[in-house]
Amino acid sequence: MKQYGILGGTFDPPHYAHFEIAIRAIEQFSLAKVVFIPAGNPWHKEGNISSYEDRYKMTQLLISSSDYLEVSDLESDISKPTYTIDTLRKIPETDDNYFIIGADVAREITTWKDYNEIFNHTKILVAPRNGVSSGDLDAIFPGPYNLIQGDEVDLNSTIIREKINESDTLEEMLPLNIIQYIRDNSLYG
């Protein structure tokens, strides 16, 4: 049976680190593809976020160069908060799939709705982020996981939004098609 990766997030904006983590997961765990699922109404985000439509379209632009990546609108309902466990319950045969998170997010998983049930629905892959070591994860992560190998990828959507007017810096973090989308739609300005 083919195995798939699931990469959820706010993707405001999606960036090269998201792409890199997905490609590493495909290569290291022999995944058929990774499905990006932009959060409709992320419960953990305070303040303004871009519209779901903008985040979805930018995610499509990010993955457009790969046949092994796709975007799902599974969380497009913005009328209520989006929770990972609710999404995983909607995906058939998730026990053969992998849910991909960054190590920084993994530290916070016990704050998620019904987090213990997540392990009944999927396997977890953790990408190295923000100096969180595998020893740190072993001490705090409440379930089994596999570590995605490779250097830390420390791009951060918050930093990108703050540097939106620094063209040279942006090109190191985002594909040109997303930079153009951001400018054409006056996002983060």
Domains in the chain, CATH or no CATH each: 4-154 (3.40.50.620)
115: Cα separation from own chain's centroid: 17
Residue 17 confidence (pLDDT) above 90: yes
The answer to whether the beta carbons of residues 160 and 173 sit under 8 Å apart is yes
In this structure, what token pair is assigned to residue 171?
């090109």
pLDDT band at 57, cuts 50/70/90? very high
* Global pTM value: 0.94
- How far is residue 110's CA from residue 142's CA, in Å, rounded to a whole number? 7
- Alpha carbons 133 and 128: distance in angstroms, whole number: 7
Q: What's the pLDDT tens digit per position in 2-11?
A: 899 999 999 9
The answer to whether the beta carbons of residues 50 and 87 sit under 8 Å apart is no
pLDDT tens digits, one per residue of 142-186: 999 999 999 887 788 988 998 887 777 788 899 999 999 999 999
Q: Which residues contact 69 (CB under 8 A, 6 or more apart)?
A: 19, 22, 23, 33, 34, 35, 36, 63
Are 28 and 3 within 8 A, CB to CB? no
